[in-house]
């Protein structure tokens, strides 16, 4: 991946993560839409990145607040 494409990709990830933090959804919409519209990376690669970011967000949230889970 070229340098400008990588920086654009990481910028979209940062914007998507910020919007996710504010609203609680839309990380995949922003990242997938932006990367596809700009043609930065293949859809399969982008889907894997979004899945990994969502998994990392979930693990972080559950780890910090596991006492609030109603078992």
For residues 57-64, average pLDDT = 82
| Residue 70 resides in a domain | no
| Residue 68 resides in a domain | no
* Other CB atoms within 10 A of residue 37 CB: 9
Say if residues 31 and 13 touch (Cβ distance below 8 Å).
yes
| pTM of the shown model | 0.78
Query: pLDDT digit string (tens) for 1-28?
Result: 789 999 999 999 999 988 888 888 888 9
Residue 66's pLDDT is 75
| Residue 7 resides in a domain | yes
Residue 6's pLDDT is 92
**C-alpha span between 25 and 19 (Å, rounded):** 7
Residue 21: which domain range?
3-62
Helix (H, G, I), strand (E, B) or coil at 42: coil
| Residue 57 resides in a domain | yes
Cα atoms in the 13 Å half-sphere on the side-chain side of 68? 5
Total tally of structural domains belonging to the chain: 1
Rg (CA), the chain: 14
| Residue 53 resides in a domain | yes
């Amino acid at each position: 991946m070229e340098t400008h494409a990588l920086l654009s990709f990481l910028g979209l990830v940062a914007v998507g993560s910020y919007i996710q933090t504010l609203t609680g959804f839309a990380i995949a919409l922003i990242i997938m839409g932006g990367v596809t519209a700009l043609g930065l990376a293949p859809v399969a690669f982008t889907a894997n990145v979004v899945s990994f970011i969502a998994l990392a967000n979930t693990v972080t949230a559950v780890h910090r607040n596991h006492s609030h889970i109603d078992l």
